[in-house]
Chain A
Amino acid sequence: MGQFLLVTIQIDLYDRLALNLEADLVQMVSKTGARGVLIDISVVSIVDSFMGRIIGNIANMSKIMDAETVVVGMQPAVAITLIELGLPLTGVHTALDVEKGMELLRKKILVDGEELDETYNTDSTE
């Protein structure tokens, strides 16, 4: 099982900082071969379409590099607002906290692995 990257966003990011984060993270995923990315946004009070797009980009690019992204700790008010705004966080999984996020990542990666095994088994018995 590969390693996970944990990113905690601690302040409301300026645009350039957010773009830097996106670039840095994608580079880290490729360098470390991480299978999972956890983005902790529990102290982020505003996610607008710009921030949402950055998170979506991270998830999409990580996916290409075979890593899953889980956003953890989204404040309920932020979640309600995102739905009304209409922002689709496609490809992004969410979990209540870091621990639950890790659990989700482990399951995801395990399930992927099992599926692979099963395919091999079926093939070999034929």
Chain B
Amino acid sequence: MEKNWMKPITPTVLNKDKLSVFKEQDVVPFRNRVKEYATRIGMGLVNQTKLITAASELVRNMLRYADGGETLIEVISKGRENGIRLTFTDKGPGIANIEQAMKDGFTTGKSLGLGLPGTKRLVSEFDIKSVVGKGTTVTVVKWKNG
């Protein structure tokens, strides 16, 4: 009982939606769907913009490096806080060195290498798991007031 406060609180999922993204034309509709959910929970414009920009970066990575994948949009609640959780799952080549991939400026795509580190800065919680040859899963959470 006295150790209860140490237990991580798992957020409750209030609502969810799945969307496949396999071509560049899927990006804008996906972003619009994220916006719909963010608006529905009353997320402010700045946080919405940060979340959707992060979502856009992650979905682009999925298209570019893994030929697409699945997205999950969830409305979650933890205590009094509501938020949006986005999960991006692909069956691409995976990332061998995640630490390196998370560095500003690291790219194998002749780009700016901003997507992953920039996304992490834009959201409240960021998690990436990858297995070489199997695929990559990125999960981000943006709290309504976070």
Contacts and interface: CB of A to CB of B under 8 A. Distances in A.
B117 to A, nearest CB: 7
A77 B35 CA distance: 14
A85 B104 CA distance: 10
| Interface of chain B: mostly helix, strand, loop or mixed | helix
A1 B57 CA distance: 40
A45 interface: yes
B45 A77 contact: yes
Interface stretch (A12-20, A63-71, A112-120): A12-20
Interface of B: 24-25, 27-28, 31, 35, 45-46, 48-50, 52-53, 56-57, 60, 104, 111-112, 114-115, 117-119, 121-122
15 contacts: A16-B24, A45-B49, A45-B52, A46-B56, A49-B115, A53-B111, A75-B49, A77-B46, A77-B48, A78-B49, A81-B46, A84-B121, A85-B119, A86-B114, A86-B118
A1 to B, nearest CB: 35
Contact of A85 (B25, B46, B122): B122
A48 B49 contact: no
Given A77-B45, A80-B46, A84-B122, A48 B57 contact: yes
Interface residues of A, number: 21
A110 interface: no
Contacts of A105: none
B35 to A, nearest CB: 8
A15 B24 CA distance: 7
Given A46-B56, A78-B49, A85-B121, 7 more contacts: A14-B25, A16-B24, A48-B53, A48-B56, A84-B50, A84-B121, A85-B119
A45 B53 CA distance: 9
A68 B115 CA distance: 28
Nearest to B51: A81
A47 B46 contact: no
